[in-house]
Amino acid sequence: MVSRPFDLLNDAIGKEALIILKAGRSVQGVLLAFDVHMNLVVDDAILTDQDGTEKKLGRILIRGDTVVLVAPSQ
C-alpha cells in the first residue's frame, strides 16, 4: 500500500518508469535507485526531446531538481 510518496518509488524499483523532465524532455527506462533529493538512477534509459527525437543513453543519473513527474508502470 502506498501511504507516502517514497513508498510509490520503492515499489517502482526494478520496473519501467516514465520520467518527465523540465524543458519538455522525458526519459523512459528501468528505475534502479533514488534518494531523498529525488535523484534517480535509470537503466536502459531512452531520452526523448521536445521534437520527438530519441536517444539511447544506457544507465544514467538524473538530478532531482530537473524531475517534474515520475510515472511507474503497473
For the chain, which ranges sit under pLDDT 50? none
So what's the architecture of 5-72 in CATH? Roll (2.30)
Bridge partner residues of 26 (DSSP) = 20, 48
Nearest to 47 by CA among 56, 58, 59, 38: 56
Residues 39 and 27 sit within 8 Å (Cβ to Cβ): no
Q: Check residue 74 and give its pLDDT.
A: 73
pTM above 0.85, yes or no: yes
**1-20: per-residue pLDDT in tens?**
778 888 999 999 999 999 99
